[in-house]
Amino acid sequence: MKISISKMLLVMIVLAVAILMGPGRNAKVAAEPAQQTNLLQNSSFEEPYKGGIAGNWGAWHQELNSNPKPADCSEKYMVQPKWNGELASGGLIKDGARSQQVGNSFDTWRGGVLQTVNVNPGSTYRFTFYATGRASNEQYPAPSDASVNLGIRAGIDPNGSGLWSDGDIVWGATGSPHMSGSSGNWQEFSVEATATGSQVTVFVQSDNSGPQQCRKHLDAWFDQSQLIEIGPPPTNTPPPPPPPPPQPVVTNTPIPPTLTATSEIPPTATLVPTDTPTNTPVPPEGGIICTNAFADDNANGQRDADEGYMAGVTFSVANGNAVIAQGVSVGSDTPICFEELDAGTYTVGQQVPRNLEMTTAATATVDLTAGSIISLEFGSRVKSDDGDEISSLTPTEEGSAGTDDGSSSGEGVSLLAIFGLAAIGIAVVLLVVLIILLFRQQRS
Ligand SMILES: [Ca+2]
Ligand SMILES: [Ca+2]
Ligand SMILES: [Ca+2]
């Protein structure tokens, strides 16, 4: 009996301890943050690739001082790089079977890939990815030249403009994960931002531009990216500003229009100032914004060598909410230039005719400094007859246009109906009066 009582006591003690420990353990488990959902599509930059760009991603790059290029890499300049799905082993893939490679030979570049994602306005998000890079005049696997700044960093546009040039992009810390010999040097890059709209755009960047930075191999590889919601904004912060007006939907991945800062003045073309007196003296300190529309037949957001220009695209330049100038593309390589602009921030937008669809974002926000020229190229292409594609196109534009048509034709019908009813009413009244008059004549 004694033994079984002590056994029972032991069992009770064990049970008591288990009961006491149980809630604590459960509480600890509950306190751990749940596995966050990765909001990115194709976060590992896997197949399919189109034009060297991983599916669900869009390419972006900046051009600067590129025509003509400074001799002997004596000054900073940026030239469009090439995108490629990396297949090679040897440390060039972080996970899965591919990584996104971007690179140039000898010409320095700034660019990468981007993706726009639906999010909860006001929530904070963390974007991370892994990158490694190589700058060398020698063939792989010679070690990377650590004197070259690879300028790799992560960015988030809190309102999802899809434009690398947007002024409110939050950029993370910059690093240069140089490969050493035949192995990758994968390092994590990260940035956090609070969404101000219902979308954010994440940017993967390398910027190796700078004097004497040119090398035969200037390559960066990106892999294993992640965008997670890390929580609502702190309660003591003011509520986020109202979301911006909805941007016209761009087909495919929104790819920003090509932005080029050039040093030579392109020929001036048709300019339709809406608000500027024509006899204003030219302020020598003014800046110039030049725009053009290219025929982006393959809808990759870039003007490829075999692609020409698009006529009939209307450009608007707005300062704040006020549109200060408009122009229409002429379908040649002659850009539409808006001159005598004060230094400041401008929103430049494209409006395409109904038979076209945009392949880059509809607007770009640029910071114009005195004496500078900013060139923007917007992409669009002729809508296909494919019903699917057109139905997925610019629902807001199509919808509003349809509503306009509908309401105007609806008004026409109702006016006709009113006139018809009125005419019938008058006829009835006249008939009654006539009958009464006839009736009175007969009686008299
Ligand atoms: Ca991968
Ligand atoms: Ca923005
Ligand atoms: Ca193209």
List pLDDT tens digits, range 84-122: 999 987 789 999 999 999 999 999 999 999 999 999 999
Please give the distance, rounded to the nearest whole angstrom, from the Cα atom of residue 86 to the centre of ligand 3.
21
Q: What is the number of the ligand closest to the CA of 49?
A: 1
Please give the distance, rounded to the nearest whole angstrom, from the Cα atom of residue 105 to the centre of ligand 1.
23
Summarize pLDDT for 9-52 with one digit per residue, the tens. Answer: 455 544 444 444 444 444 444 444 556 899 999 999 999 999 99
Most confident of 216-225, 310-319, 368-377: 216-225
3-state secondary structure of 390: helix
* 417 has pLDDT over 90: no
Q: What is the number of the ligand closest to the CA of 160?
A: 2
Please give the distance, rounded to the nearest whole angstrom, from the Cα atom of residue 296 to the centre of ligand 3.
4
Please give the distance, rounded to the nearest whole angstrom, from the Cα atom of residue 48 to the centre of ligand 1.
12
Please give the distance, rounded to the nearest whole angstrom, from the Cα atom of residue 320 to the centre of ligand 3.
31
Lowest-confidence segment of 13-17, 50-54, 209-213, 250-254 by average pLDDT: 250-254
Please give the distance, rounded to the nearest whole angstrom, from the Cα atom of residue 45 to the centre of ligand 1.
5
Summarize pLDDT for 143-154 with one digit per residue, the tens. Answer: 999 999 999 999
Please give the distance, rounded to the nearest whole angstrom, from the Cα atom of residue 42 to the centre of ligand 1.
9
pTM above 0.85, yes or no: no
Distance, CA of 308 to CA of 333 (rounded, Å)? 8
Please give the distance, rounded to the nearest whole angstrom, from the Cα atom of residue 61 to the centre of ligand 2.
17
Q: How many beta carbons lie within 10 A of that of residue 34, not counting itself?
A: 6
* 195 has pLDDT over 90: yes
Distance, CA of 322 to CA of 301 (rounded, Å)? 28
Peptide bond into 68 cis (omega under 30): yes
pLDDT, position 403: 34
pLDDT, position 67: 84
With tokens 């040097």, the residue in question is: 185
Instruction: Pick the more confident residue, 349 or 12.
Output: 349
Please give the distance, rounded to the nearest whole angstrom, from the Cα atom of residue 257 to the centre of ligand 1.
27
Please give the distance, rounded to the nearest whole angstrom, from the Cα atom of residue 254 to the centre of ligand 3.
13
Q: What element of type H or E holds 21?
A: helix 2-31
List the one residue out of 266, 268, 257 whose CA is nearest residue 302: 257
Here the tokens at position 276 are 């500027």
CB 100 within 8 A of CB 43: no
> What's the mean pLDDT in 70-79?
94
Amino acid (1-letter code) at residue 17: V
Pairing status of strand 53-54 against strand 110-118: unpaired
Please give the distance, rounded to the nearest whole angstrom, from the Cα atom of residue 167 to the centre of ligand 2.
6
Please give the distance, rounded to the nearest whole angstrom, from the Cα atom of residue 47 to the centre of ligand 1.
9
Please give the distance, rounded to the nearest whole angstrom, from the Cα atom of residue 358 to the centre of ligand 3.
12
Summarize pLDDT for 53-74 with one digit per residue, the tens. Answer: 999 999 999 999 988 899 999 9
Q: What is the number of the ligand closest to the CA of 361?
A: 2
The runs of H, that is alpha helices, within 169-244 are: none
